[in-house]
Amino acid sequence: MQIDKLRGDQLDQLFDAVLSLQTREECYQFFDDIATMNEIHSISQRLQVAKMLNEGRTYSHIEKETKASTATISRVRRCIDYGSGGYEIVLNRMETAKDNND
């Protein structure tokens, strides 16, 4: 499983740091310090692509809406279909949180 390749003390420390954040503002502060704007944009773009793929949107619609390349869209699709299930976990939780706030 690919997830095992990721494991290590440094990544554990990073993930523990992310899990310690309590507000959206804290996330903005931390990610502003730890990553470039391009890195943050790329990650948020991939999440948006995953959300739109989950909603059944076409590649051309996603490309137009997010400005993501077809290569990025395909990569996200592969992760959704054959990855570790991370997108599914996050998207389901985001949808549940949205439903609870409505």
Closest CA to 46 of 38, 9, 36, 26: 38
The verdict on pTM exceeding 0.85 is: yes
pLDDT (tens digit, 9 = 90+) per residue, 26-66? 999 999 999 999 999 999 999 999 999 999 999 999 999 99
CATH of domain 39-102: 1.10.1270.10
Domain extents for the chain? 1-34, 39-102
**Token pair recorded at residue 11:** 């990544």
What pLDDT, on a 0 to 100 scale, did the predictor assign at position 102? 75
In the chain, what percentage of residues exceed pLDDT 90?
85
**Distance between CA atoms of 38 and 43, rounded to whole angstroms?**
9
- State how far the Cα of 102 lies from the Cα of 99, in Å rounded to an integer: 5
